[in-house]
A and B are shown apart, each in its own frame.
Chain A
Amino acid sequence: MPPAAQLLLLLVMLSDFAVLATTRLSGCIRALAAQGLLLGALPLVLAPLSAHTVVLALGTVAVKAVVLPRFLAWAIREASVRREVEPLVGFVASLLLGAGAVALAFGIAARLPLARMPDALLVPAALATLMIGFIVLTTRRKAITQVVGYLMLENGIYLFGLTQTASVPFLLELGVLLDVFVGVFVMGIVVFHINREIDSLDSEQLTEPAD
């Protein structure tokens, strides 16, 4: 169990909390980009060095740390969204929820029977990132923060996928594919917004009268 991997995984969890705690959209996106960078470095320290892991690391960094954060920043600028995060649940409450999620993640991970474990922290970090992503997705009002939450959820799935690189080598590429999917959908939505001159990316305004 390389100590570098442990450090990286701790930093990933720290970046989860950075997203929860930040009050500005740009801070959220910077934390997400940092997380993408950490995820890109992980295969290099966990798996034996090969052409496959290098390509995977480069691809992950390119998509998760460069393309998507830049794209989100561009969307905020183009649609002139207000810079605040506007949570439905207060920052302190969401941090407490996040702490609960981490505790739960360690609790669940301890009960899961895993034969080959690259790193003891991997499963808890994956589950925590997944749950915190879900918290961000459901407790933030803006469409753009919902996308951030969704991307974190997916980062959690990517981390879990790292446990299976040995047996199913292309699973991680699937995760990256999911990123492209999101990229396309966000792009579509933003372009639509600009076309229709709707001034903010507030998902509350997108809710319709119920039945």
Chain B
Amino acid sequence: MRLLALCFLPAAVAAAAAPLRRGSGLRPAALVAAALAHTALTASLWWRPPAAAVPPETVGWLGVDALGLLVLSVNSVLFLAGAVYAVGYLRLDAPRGGRIFVSCLLAFLTAASVVALSQHLAMLWVGMEAATLAVAPLIFHRRDRRSLAAAWKYLVISSVAIALALLGIFFLATAQAGVAGRPLLVPDLVAGARALQPAWLRAAFVFLLVGFGTKMGLAPMHTWKPDTYREAPGLVSGLMAGALTSCAFLGVARITQVTVAAGLGGFARPPLVGFGLLSLAVAAAFVLAQRDLERLLGYSSVEHVGLLALGLGLGGFGAWGSLLHLVNNALVKGWLFLVAGNVVLATGGPASAANRGLARRLPVSGILLLLGLFAVTGSPPFGLFQSELTLLRAAFAAGHPVIAMTMASLLALIFAGMAALVLEMTLGGSGEAAEAPAPAARESRWLVASPLALAALVLMLGFYIPGPLQSVLARAAAALGGSVP
């Protein structure tokens, strides 16, 4: 029951909130209420897990395993932060009363929950497609030519990717033909993995990796990412970089899970490592000359999904590091994109290098942006330091010192590139401080509460990983054929 509620509650709220009148303030309230209910239901899955991982009333299609629970929780927390932020955001910038905005966000939450809870790969695919579609109208937010171009690029690349993923699922069904077990259900696929036809399983892995990898934004299929994140409002970019990529990662993780269980880990790992390193290299090359904060964060997202794929490909405790990085990445991306959204709201234009001296003009957001620079590039004491260190250690442990050294030097380059722009924006001397609007009016409590909370969580994960999270990480890593460091 709780699983069904997680999937359909946001959609029900969206339907109920759609006819509300504009300006009543009820719509943002409905959004926050739905997010709170979703987080509460997710939390209840941690404290009191359902009797059976795959409850009978869902015919095996919905269930909570460690991997799914991790993605569900990350999405839920990030969405709650986004919903609280949206209350402040919709007061300042709400085309047509925010009706489309709120409905699309809630539809996205429904779709993302379906992805996280799917035990059936075709249903996971349907959820992924719905999530892709739900955010598309939000990209075309500024209603100008550039955002039209970004939305078109996003739609064409995503649709082709998602079509390839569907073909991959057909291949997987073909691989399973004649094997005992219900078609395309993850537990049955894993149990009967050794009997799957290897040729078709390999083809399925390649197509699903390319399809969902494009949705994650792995290089060289990342080209939609910087444009899309620049055009969408900060809140939406944060959800895409944190939640949508986590869902796509889950798709890649599921097929990796089946492939590893079939004893084809040696086939699956090299492409994952290759895509990972290429993403790091592309991010390093493009952050260096970047003048726009949101595009910069787009390339930073390419870097982080690259790390996710890399960890999955390294084996050993790489998978564990990758899953910890999934949590860190979602939280830090939410934090930074919300702050970038504040910069856009306060200056009325794109968050480019022309905005200097933000630490003085927007005290809270400016400082958060500066701290975020260190967090997102994996500096101590933040959580990303822990996960990136684990990935480096996993590369050494797996006997790949070259991969580890390449990774470390690319991360250093990315730090240099990001620092150049962020330091200029936050601490650089401000020539046009006079024309800036009064900061107090533009930096309301609603707008800074969520990034502050997310920053606190990222900081906490740098020192302390709570016990329940540790056990879920360990179980999820074991499902991917990995171990705990």
Contact = CB atoms under 8 A, between A and B. Distances in A.
Contacts of A188: 136-137, 140
B289 interface: yes
Nearest to B152: A206
Interface string A74-95: 0000000000000000000000
Interface string A150-164: 100110010011011
Interface in A153-211: 153-154, 157, 160-161, 163-164, 167-168, 170-171, 174-175, 177-178, 181-182, 184-185, 188-189, 192-193, 195-196, 198, 203, 206-208, 211
B133 A185 contact: yes
Contacts of A175: 166
Given A168-B184, A178-B163, A211-B286, A189 B149 contact: no
Contacts of B152: 143, 189, 203, 206
Contact of B125 (A113, A161, A174): A174
A24 to B, nearest CB: 23
B160 A137 contact: yes
Interface in B146-165: 146, 148-153, 155-156, 159-160, 162-163
A150 B166 CA distance: 14
Contact of B199 (A112, A154, A193, A203): A112
A114 interface: yes
Contacts of A157: 163, 166-167, 170
A49 interface: no
A150 B122 contact: no
B483 interface: no
A15 interface: no
Interface in B269-305: 286, 289-290, 295
A182 B125 CA distance: 15
A150 B151 CA distance: 16
Interface string A113-138: 11110000000000000100000010
A206 B137 CA distance: 17
B474 interface: no
A150 to B, nearest CB: 6
Interface in B290-345: 290, 295
B155 A189 contact: yes
Contact of A171 (B122, B129, B144, B177): B122
A103 to B, nearest CB: 20
B250 interface: no
A146 interface: yes
B148 A177 contact: no
Contacts, number: 101
A21 B178 CA distance: 41
B177 A211 contact: no
Nearest to A161: B170
B200 A196 contact: no
B145 A184 contact: no
B227 A115 contact: no
A170 B122 contact: yes
Contacts of B448: none
A175 B173 CA distance: 14
Nearest to A211: B286
Secondary structure dominating the interface of A: helix
A206 B184 CA distance: 39
Contact of B177 (A112, A116, A185, A206): A116
Contacts of A168: 122, 173, 183-184
A196 B148 CA distance: 10
Contact of B129 (A114, A115, A161, A177): A177
A181 B127 CA distance: 12
B160 A113 contact: no
Nearest to A193: B148
Given A150-B156, A164-B174, A174-B126, A208 B163 contact: no
A154 B226 CA distance: 27
B143 interface: yes
A154 B289 CA distance: 38
Nearest to A185: B155
A141 to B, nearest CB: 13
B197 interface: yes
A211 B167 contact: no
A203 B143 CA distance: 17
Nearest to B156: A146
B411 to A, nearest CB: 20
Nearest to A162: B170
B145 A198 contact: yes
B136 A164 contact: no
Nearest to A195: B143
A171 B145 contact: no
A168 B143 CA distance: 42
A209 B155 CA distance: 19
Contacts of A116: 177
A163 B174 CA distance: 8
B35 to A, nearest CB: 25
A203 B166 CA distance: 26
Given A113-B197, A178-B129, A206-B152, 14 more contacts: A112-B200, A116-B177, A146-B156, A150-B156, A150-B159, A153-B163, A157-B170, A160-B170, A168-B183, A171-B169, A185-B159, A188-B140, A196-B144, A206-B153
Smallest CB-CB A-B distances: 4 pairs: A206-B149, A168-B183, A168-B173, A164-B173
18 contacts: A112-B199, A163-B170, A167-B176, A168-B173, A168-B184, A171-B169, A171-B170, A174-B166, A178-B129, A178-B166, A182-B159, A185-B136, A196-B143, A206-B149, A206-B153, A208-B149, A208-B150, A208-B227
Interface of A: 112-116, 130, 137, 143, 146, 150, 153-154, 157, 160-161, 163-164, 167-168, 170-171, 174-175, 177-178, 181-182, 184-185, 188-189, 192-193, 195-196, 198, 203, 206-208, 211
